[in-house]
Each structure stands twice: as structure tokens, then as C-alpha cells.
Amino acid sequence: MAHRNDTPAADGFDRLAAGLIAEEQDGSAANLAHEALDVIPGLRTEGDGGALRTHLARWGSAPLLTLGALNVVDELDRIAFITLAPDIRRSFDLSDAALGAINGLSGILVVLMALPFAVLADRSRRRTVLAGAGALLWATFALATGLARTAFQLVVARFLSGLGKATIDPVHGSLLADYYPAEARGRVYAAHQAANPIAGVVGPLFAGGVAFAVGGEEGWRWAFIAAVPLSVIAALSAFKLREPQRGGHERDSVGGDAAPGHTELDGRADDAGPRIPLGTALRRLLEIRSLRYLYLGIGVMGFGLVSGPLLLSLHFEEALGINELGRGVIFTVLAAAGLVGLPFGGVVADRLFRHDPSWPLFLIGALVIAYTAVTAVALYLPGVLVPVGVLFVASASVAATPAAVRQMVAATSPPAVRSLSFAMLGVYILLFGGFLGGALFGAISDATSPRFALTLLVLPGLVAGALVAHGSRFVDGDIGMVVADLREEQRAATRRRQAVTNLLEVRNLDFRYGSARVLFDVSLDVPEGEILALLGTNGAGKSTLLRAITGLDHPVRGSIRFDGHDVTYLEAEQLLRLGIAQMPGGKATFPSLTVLENLRVGAYTFRRDQQRVEREIRQVEEWFPVLGQRRSQAAGTLSGGEQQMLALGKAFLTRPRLLCIDELSLGLSPSVTGSLLGIVREMHARGTTIVIVEQSLNVALSLASTAVFMEKGQVRFAGPAAELLERPDLARSVFLEGAGR
């Protein structure tokens, strides 16, 4: 039934797809993922992967330089606020807790807007999103910060500055993944993240120097005002970038075509079909276990990432009596540690990833734990030079983590939702650490001291490191799933070119309810115009498979294609508009509504065409005269057979191309079943392709010439329905039960 590409690489992918389901039983996913990395150029290479300048010479340096510049100007705002925090506190007479909360205010808007910006980036030109909604918005509210005259105005300016920051993670991360191939990404992300320490080196000196030069209690304002032109220049340069194809490097590696709906036309996303809804895309990402643990760890880490620098600035002033210029120098020195560690970290991340994709994530967890412990110790060392020196070494060591984090996100997330996967990093950091962390540890600082509050940050650091390190167990399998899906996408493109596309194609589908796995690597084809019987024992997963096909539930992996288009993660309403309908098992009516009202609900998708609604309802009443006689009667008062007639009539009203019927004959008399089967045949004769779930072999054979038999969530047989009678190994008791019906 499935069309195969009989090449060594294809065989490797077949073994990968078939073996991933055994991960929890025999741990084979790691070996299978390595096999996938071996057969795809670009995901696994020998040597060190080449110097950064080699990759930039081939793929272009403009994207990295432009995105790096945008990252620098965004960081200048954050660094300036931290460096000048004591001055801002005095100007507005704020407490440490209030200052911490204001520092985290932009994080609230990042949480609120990062996901919408990510959805926009996944559906439109990302260069416009990053230039227009990013740098220019940042410039506007940086200016507003400098001009604020009341605490309320400061709060509004800092809150709205999050509009600019909300574009950084989702847009920059996904763009770099599409500009540069997998073997270059560790170094590329390290270079991009070098913008942070560059801003850390330049920012404190810039902010502290401007404030010191202007002088007075209001000198801090000019640090924000003077940075605005830099952002405008960076934004204008972003408009000159070309828009890359989403997932283009991965698709080139497996020899595949661009996926429908995700190609690029003149810099615009191809609007070939419905888009994955945000909620569904989020659920899809959180099913990727390595990403889930990474997000959780990053979220807990956010307490220290956001609160730590601010508290450290307060500690330097209160405990050590260091003025704004001195604090600027110290933060410049600590930021320089990133410039020392980042290049090394990018090379190490690349090499570890090619040797074993799980190692970078484990390294991140270990470095975070070590960094938090060393930082706490440094606070209690005597003098200034010794603790700053210890903090410099710790900061240089942990500088490898940003590049490795982004490398792992790019490798384990599907290209179609990659912007969203990067957005989740900022959301988790700021959801936990932004406002809540700033307010909580600011309050602790007010009640005790900044040093004590910084010491307590060790606890979330230890938890964060442990979570991230634990997630490394799942990296191999998660990368393997992405690779297998790309391979299936390539096969689907080949079938389209050969004009052998089935109306419905299900590939390597896994599904679970919570922790209970229900479907295991399910694949099937349904040619257009066919009636396929889906048979099996109770609990075999037949109804679950129908729910996945019709969008009522979504799988944890695998793909569903309808008429050549990937519809795996579309919602039921979107699929209904495309022509996929389901008649659920049991009572599939609204019992409190009348028969006529139920039918009108069934005609919802074309409700504006009242002539068609009335015409289709009359057709249903011709097929089922009893429904016409009882059109004003509540559906809940009908007999079981009459309710099945009504449910089938509702399904007919949409005139679906594919109709999925779940247990048509359940609990019905042979005569009622016969009349329903006649209508199903009539719908089929009118061009509807049908997938019907049945336990009765007699009913199945009376309708379908092709059958799929499922047992314990797996497909055990696919072929002519009559051959099932010749297979005594396939649930004989079920067939004997069905033969008597």
C-alpha cells in the first residue's frame, strides 16, 4: 500500500520510523537517531564542521551581521536599565521590590506577545517582523524611558518595551536556522549570541559614561535617548535581507521538495492551505520531550537570568559602595567573559552535537549547576577584584550555553513551527523569572540584603540544571522523529510528481492519552473513491485513529496527508472545510435540539447558502422519511436507529470527500443496519471516499473490498477484506463474533 523508495538511505529511515516506538521498551531510539544522522548530510559530518568564516563565505555574512546588530541594540536597553538602576531608583523614589518588578515588566509583554509574533513569523516575512515590530518599537520605548517624568510613565515605557524584545527569540532563531545549515549552527548561534556580551561590554560603559558625562541626578536619561539612532540604523538594514525558505537546508539534505504551505514566493509565505492553530502547535512542541525539559529548565533558570544582574548591581553599590561608573566597569568586565567563552562554546557545541546530539544539552545542565554554585561563593569573597575574577571565570564557562540551547531547539523542532519553538525560550524565562522572579527576590532583598537574595538564587539554578540535563536523554529520539517526518515529506512529494497520491495517507502515527500510548507507528493509504473497513478488537485504537484523521485529537508524531497536503495538526473545523467529516460512534446528535435544528447544525459550513441548505435537508429527508415526519421532534426522543439515521444525514450535508464512520451498526437491528448501509453506498456512488470502523465482519465485507486490521494500537493486516477469513492468527474470536451478526 505504501510506496517505497528502495535506497540505502530510505532503508535507514524505514528502520528509524519502525523502531522509534520501541524507545521506552528497549532504548533503541538512540541508535536509530544516530542512523538517521549518518544518512543525512548536514546533520552529521566528520571533523570540526569548518570554521565560521568558511560557512559565512558560502552562505553569506549579511544575515548574521544584521541580526547580531539588532540583538546588540536590544541588549543595550536592558544593560542600561541594570547599570543605572540605583540612579533610576533615586529619581522615582522606588523600593528594591518595585524596581525589580519594573525591570521585569517588559517580560510580561514578551510573554503575551512572543507567541503571536512567532505565529506571525511562521506565516509571513520574518525580516519585516524583526525590523518593523522589533528594533523600531524598541527605539520608541527606549526614548519613552528616557523622557518619563513619573513612575507611571516609567512603568508604561518599560512594559511596552517588551514589544521589541518579543521578536528577538522567535524571529532571529528561526531565520538563522534557515540561512545556515546544521553543521554551521553552533558557531553561528555563538556569533549571534556574542551580541549579548558585546552589548555587555559596550553597554555599561556607554550608559554609565553618558550618565556620568551629563552629570546630575537626571543624567541617566540621556543614556536611553542617545541609543535610539543605533536601533533605527539596524532596523533599516534588516529590510535588505532576503527571506530564506523554511527548513530548506534539512529538505535539501534528504532530497525533498518544500512542504506545501511553507515555501517562499517573493519573500512571502505561500498561503497554500490552512495554518496550524497556535494551541495545536504549542501542544505539538510540548510533546517533544527534550524541548519540554529544556523549556522547564530555562523557565526556572529565569529567576537568576532576570533578577541576578539587577541584584548584583544593587549589591555592588550597597555592600561595596561602588558608584555608577565603577559598576559600569565591572559589568563590562563580566560581559567580556562572554566574548571569551562564546567562540569556544560554539565550537564545542558543534563538535559535541556531531559526536552525540544529546551531549550539548547535558553540558548545559552541568554548566548551569556549576555557575550558580560558584556565583554564590563569589559573593562572600573579600574585596572587589577577587569576587569579580571568580565571576569572570564562571561567566566565561557558562557562555557556551546560549549557542547550545539554540542549536538543540533548531535540531529538535519541526521547521513549520520553528519560530514558535524559539519563542517559547523567552516565554518560559520571563514567565517565571521576569516579573515574578524580580518581585519575589526584590522583596527578599528589601527584607534582608541583595547578597542574601542572590545566594537564594542557587536553588532555582540547581533545579534548572537538573531538568535540562535530564532532557538530554530524549534528544536522539526527538531528532530522529524530525528527520523521519522530513523523509516522509520527501516521499510524499515523489508520489505527487508520479501522480500516485492517495486521498488519505497516514504515516508513522503515534498517539497517547497522557502517559498511556494508544497508537504505535500506524500507517495506511486510502485511494480516492474507495471504501476501507477499519477492523479490530475493542481497544485496538480504531476510534482514536479516526479522531486523529478528523482533527478531534492530535498525534504525538507522524503525519496525515489529505489530497497531498499535510493536515496532521489542523483542527476539526478546518478539516471539515477541506472535506473530511466524521460520524462518531454512539449517539452523535444534540438531544435537546429538534431533528431540523440538528440538520441545520450539520449544514453550518455552508449556512450562508440557504438554498443549498434546504436542498440538502430535503435530500436527507428523502433518504430517511421518518426524519421528515419528525423534524420538529427533539432528537433525544428518537430511537437508536433513528438517531444513527440523523447522524448519517448530518454527515451527508457537508458533502465530504472523505467520510469516517465509527461503528455504524452498533446496537442496531439488521433491518435498520441494512437501510443505513444503503445510504452509505449511495454516498459512495456520489464520489465520497469512506473509512468505516466495524467489529462486524459481515457488515465490513458487505461494504468494503479493502480492510485494515488493528490490534493493540498497531496495524497487523492491510489488504483485501476477504483475506481476513483466511488469517486464523488475526483475532479469530472477533471474526466469529462478527459472523453471527
Please tell me the distance from the alpha carbon of residue 560 to that of residue 121, in angstroms, as a whole number.
Answer: 24
Q: Directed axis angle between helix 62-83 and helix 185-193, to 10°?
A: 40
Task: Kindly state the percentage of the chain with pLDDT values over 90.
Answer: 6
Asked if the model's pLDDT at residue 420 lies above 80, the reply is: yes
Mean pLDDT within 141-157? 87
Residues 452 and 535 in one domain: no
Average pLDDT rounded to a whole number, residues 429-457: 80
Q: Give buried/exposed letters for 320-332 (b at 16+ CB in 10 A, else e).
A: eebebbbbbbbbb
pLDDT, residue 253, reads 66
344 part of a folded domain = yes
Instruction: Indicate if 468 and 508 belong to the same structural domain.
Output: no
Domains held by the chain: number: 2
- Choose one of 449, 479, 509: the last residue of a domain: 479
pLDDT 10s digits, 550-598: 988 888 888 899 988 888 888 888 888 888 988 876 667 888 889 888 8
Based on its alpha-carbon atoms, the radius of gyration of the chain, rounded to whole angstroms, reads 30
pLDDT value at 171 more than 70: yes
The DSSP output letter for 594 is B
Residue 20 — pLDDT band, cuts 50, 70, 90? very low
Are 470 and 508 within one domain? no
Same domain? For 562 and 469 the reply is no
> Residue 40: pLDDT above 50?
no
* Residue, of 106 and 626, whose pLDDT is higher: 626
**Based on the domain organization, do 94 and 180 belong to the same domain?**
yes
Q: What is the pLDDT of residue 499?
A: 67
Q: What is the pLDDT of residue 642?
A: 83
Q: Is residue 5 part of a domain?
A: no
398: domain range?
Answer: 52-246+278-479
pLDDT bracket for residue 17 (50, 70, 90):
very low
Q: Is residue 19 part of a domain?
A: no
State mean pLDDT over 298-315. Answer: 82
> 732 and 623 share a domain?
yes
The pLDDT-based confidence of 689 (bands split at 50, 70, 90) is very high
**Measured between alpha carbons, how far is 37 from 23 in angstroms, rounded to an integer?**
17
Tens of pLDDT, residue by residue over 667-676, are: 677 777 787 8
The pLDDT of residue 290 is 92
Say how far apart CA 53 and CA 332 lie, in whole Å.
27
Residue 334, domain CATH: 1.20.1250.20
- Are 592 and 453 in the same domain? no
Q: Quick one: 406 exposed, middle or buried, by C-beta within 10 A (0-12, 13-18, 19+)?
A: buried
Gap between the Cα atoms of 107 and 113, Å rounded? 10
657 assigned to some structural domain: yes
Predicted confidence (pLDDT) at residue 182 exceeds the cutoff of 90: no
List, in sequence order, every residue forming a beta bridge with 560; answer none if it has no partner.
506
Q: Within a domain: residue 12?
A: no
Distances (CA, A) of 498 to 1, 231, 403, 595: 15, 50, 42, 46
Q: Is the same domain home to 531 and 426? A: no
Burial of 295 (0-12, 13-18, 19+ CB in 10 A): buried
Instruction: Please tell me the distance from the alpha carbon of residue 147 to that of residue 320, in angstroms, as a whole number.
Output: 31
pLDDT surpassing 90 at residue 691: yes
SS3 content of the chain, % helix, strand, coil (to 5): 65, 10, 25
Return the DSSP state at 276. Answer: P
- pLDDT tens readout for residues 597-636: 888 887 877 777 788 888 888 888 888 888 888 888 888 8
pLDDT digits (tens, 9 = 90+) for 507-560: 888 888 877 889 998 999 999 889 998 888 778 888 899 999 998 888 888 889
The count of other CB atoms within 10 Å of the CB of residue 597 is 16
Predicted confidence (pLDDT) at residue 132 exceeds the cutoff of 90 = no
Q: Which of 415, 490, 406 lies closest to 246 in space, CA to CA? A: 415
In a domain, 716, yes or no: yes
Percent of the chain with pLDDT strictly greater than 70: 85
- Let me know whether 506 and 471 are in one domain: no
- Residue 494 in any domain: the answer is no
Name the residue among 338, 464, 452 with its Cα closest to residue 394.
338
Q: Is the pLDDT of residue 430 over 50?
A: yes
Grid coordinates representing 211?
Answer: 550618565
Residues 441 and 319 in one domain: yes
pLDDT digits (tens, 9 = 90+) for 208-229: 888 888 888 788 888 888 888 8
CATH of the domain at 553: 3.40.50.300
Q: How far apart are CA 276 and CA 193, in angstroms?
A: 30
How far apart CA 194 and CA 340 sit, in angstroms, is 9
Whether 453 is covered by a domain: the verdict is yes
Could you tell me if 424 and 110 are in contact, meaning their C-beta atoms sit under 8 angstroms apart? Answer: no
User: Quick one: which of 285, 436, 456 has its CA closest to 379?
Assistant: 456
Give me the chain's average pLDDT, please.
79
N- to C-terminal Cα distance for the chain?
Answer: 30
| Same domain as 345, residue 298 | yes
pLDDT of 719: 85
Which pLDDT value is given to residue 736? 47
469/530 same-domain check: no
Identity of the amino acid at 675? S
Among 415, 446, 479, residue at a domain's last position: 479
